[in-house]
Amino acid sequence: MEGKWVGQIFHSNFSFKSRGTAILIKKNVQFTATKVISDSNGRYVIVAGKLYNTLILLVNIYAPNIDDEQFISSVLNILPNLDTHQLIMGGDFNFVLDPFLDRSSINSFKYLGITITKCFSMLYKENILKLYEYTQQIFKKWSKL
């Protein structure tokens, strides 16, 4: 990927192909990283920096697909500069906030943990986290941005 991508790459990877996260910044975008935190297990990468004239915190998460009460809480606790930087967080959180909206079949719904769900619900209610949803009617899939 580095051979084809011209721009900045921030990543965390693991020794197996099953994990890894990355944040890519296009070459013409004025972004200067001031701090990078990469997880040695390939579960997250956090980049603090300046995007044009705005202080920004970029976070990409790949959460475990088991109920891990500590994972999201520990990531949120290490986020630097929340009081001064705009937060953009994305990735695969491996859980749903609303099974009726986020699952095509309620019968196949597997509950993945109340702690993580409560954590994100709190962030959403406090306006720290905004979920942008869009629907792909053709494929009957829902996504959050």
Per-residue pLDDT, averaged over 25-51, amounts to 95
Using one digit for the tens of pLDDT, what is the confidence trace for 11-37?
A: 998 877 778 999 999 989 999 999 999
Domain positions in the chain are 7-144
CB burial of 67-103 (b: ≥16 within 10 Å; e: otherwise) equals: ebeebbeebbeebeeeeebeeebebebbbbeeeeeee
Identify the pLDDT of residue 122.
61
pTM exceeds cut of 0.85: no
Identify the pLDDT of residue 94.
76
Asked whether residue 79 carries a pLDDT value surpassing 50, the answer given is: yes
Identify the pLDDT of residue 145.
47
Per-residue pLDDT, averaged over 50-75, amounts to 86
Proportion of the chain in helix, strand, coil states, percent, rounded to 5: 20, 35, 45
CATH of region 7-144, choose from 2.30.110.10, 3.40.50.12780, 1.10.10.10, 3.60.10.10: 3.60.10.10
Mean pLDDT of the chain: 77
